[in-house]
């Protein structure tokens, strides 16, 4: 068996399973796909409306609403012995309500590529499928090779927004990611240097955009700063990746960058629409991400 972090091991022990779970509700699209890829998809009895992979396996499963708006009654009717949630994708109130009814909820939260692989090993252990270890060993090797390759190349400065306002036309601001996110770590591993790695989200919105006094963030999430186009342009990204989720960026959104013809990414036409699941799904989809993303971030020879 592979490595499982101490926190993950503690969370597995807290669930108290003496045998593999048999009726599972997944509130996390990346986990739904990973369960199938690891050979235990038949244990699923319920999934969210946003679970889309694997497309050919999900037609007969009960849908229980969105990750942030689950149909609690529907979940109860499915009588799951395990519900898998994610600290970012699911609301704390919903998780606590399910736990208060005696349902077992496994709350996951991988924020690095290493943590995502550890989670897959934990799934293999929880569901008692050690034969899937070979698949994860291949993924581990890919991860190790990617880590070694970092020492031999200069990273490409990359801008990767995940939302924009307004939804059409010239953007007033983009929401992007900092170093505390899974997407940041994945880009780093693929040869990208996130230009907003050290930029924390500020509150309120006007403060994030440099137009008001800062408020203490308290318990609010600071990992997704909102930035003006001018702030992006000042950092001169060499590559721009526009993911198709959570905001559905399309080819039309590339036009916004033509207003900045001096950006290296614009000059060299290194602007790409990217399948958002490759950037934001920490699960078995990582193998596809490590195969496809590095070529989009390679620095052109000088």
pLDDT in tens, 126-173: 999 999 999 999 999 999 999 888 877 889 999 999 999 999 999 999
Could you give the 3-state DSSP secondary structure of residue 84?
strand
Q: For the segment 171-181, what is each residue's pLDDT rounded down to a tens digit?
A: 999 999 999 99
pLDDT band at 298, cuts 50/70/90?
A: confident
Distances (CA, A) of 252 to 162, 170, 230, 242: 15, 11, 20, 11
Could you give the 3-state DSSP secondary structure of residue 10?
helix
Mean predicted confidence (pLDDT) in 60-86:
97
How far is Cα 52 from Cα 284, in angstroms, rounded to an integer? 14
Distances (CA, A) of 207 to 127, 178, 228: 46, 17, 12
How far is Cα 188 from Cα 293, in angstroms, rounded to an integer? 11
Contact 212, 194 (CB under 8 A): no
* Residue reference for tokens 């593999």: 20
Tokens, residue 236: 């001169």
Contact 104, 81 (CB under 8 A): yes
First to last CA, the chain: 44
Q: Which helix (H) or strand (E) holds 295?
A: helix 294-297
* Residue reference for tokens 């989200």: 201
| CATH 3.40.50.1980 domain locations along the chain | 6-146, 154-297
Report yes or no on whether pTM surpasses 0.85: yes
- Quick one: DSSP state of residue 57? G
For residue 50, give every residue at least 6 positions away whose Cβ sits within 8 Å of its Cβ, in sequence order, or none.
29, 66, 67
Contact 50, 10 (CB under 8 A): no
Half-sphere exposure of 217 (CA within 13 A, CB side): 13
- Nearest one of 67, 68, 20, 17 to 46, comparing CA atoms: 67
Tokens, residue 255: 């036009």
For residue 46, give every residue at least 6 positions away whose Cβ sits within 8 Å of its Cβ, in sequence order, or none.
24, 25, 26, 61, 62, 63, 64, 74, 75, 78, 80
Contact 135, 143 (CB under 8 A): no
Q: For the segment 83-118, what is each residue's pLDDT rounded down to a tens digit?
A: 999 999 999 999 999 999 999 999 999 999 999 999
What fold characterizes domain 154-297?
Rossmann fold (3.40.50)
Q: What percent of the chain has pLDDT over 90?
A: 92
* pLDDT at site 6: 85
CA 292 to chain centre: 16
Q: What is the CA radius of gyration of the chain?
A: 20
Q: For the segment 22-64, what is each residue's pLDDT rounded down to a tens digit?
A: 999 999 999 999 999 999 999 999 999 999 999 999 998 999 9
| Domain 6-146 class, CATH top level | alpha beta
């Amino acid at each position: 068996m592979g490595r499982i972090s101490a926190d993950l091991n503690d969370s597995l022990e807290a669930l108290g399973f003496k045998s593999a779970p048999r009726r599972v509700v997944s509130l996390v699209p990346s986990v739904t796909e990973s369960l199938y890829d690891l050979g235990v998809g038949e244990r699923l009895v319920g999934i969210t409306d946003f679970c889309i992979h694997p497309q050919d396996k999900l037609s007969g499963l009960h849908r229980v609403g969105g990750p942030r708006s689950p149909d609690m009654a529907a979940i109860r009717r499915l009588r799951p012995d395990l519900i898998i949630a994610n600290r970012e994708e699911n609301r704390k109130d919903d998780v606590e309500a399910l736990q208060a009814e005696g349902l077992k909820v496994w709350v996951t939260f991988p924020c690095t590529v290493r943590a995502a692989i550890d989670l897959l090993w934990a799934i293999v252990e929880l569901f008692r499928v050690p034969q899937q270890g070979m698949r994860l060993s291949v993924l581990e090797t890919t991860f190790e090779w990617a880590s070694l390759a970092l020492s031999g190349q200069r990273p490409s400065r990359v801008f990767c927004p995940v939302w924009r306002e307004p939804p059409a036309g010239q953007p007033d601001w983009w929401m992007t990611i900092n170093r505390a996110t899974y997407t940041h770590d994945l880009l780093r591993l693929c040869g990208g240097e996130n230009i907003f790695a050290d930029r924390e989200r500020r509150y309120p919105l006007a403060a994030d955009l440099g137009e008001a006094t800062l408020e203490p963030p308290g318990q609010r999430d600071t990992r997704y700063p909102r930035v003006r186009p001018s702030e992006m342009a000042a950092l001169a990204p060499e590559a721009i990746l526009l993911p198709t989720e959570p905001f559905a960026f399309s080819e039309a959104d590339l036009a916004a960058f033509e207003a900045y013809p001096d950006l290296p990414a614009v000059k060299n036409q290194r602007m790409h629409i990217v399948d958002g699941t490759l950037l934001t799904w920490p699960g078995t989809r990582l193998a596809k991400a490590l195969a496809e993303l590095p070529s989009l971030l390679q620095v052109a020879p000088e």
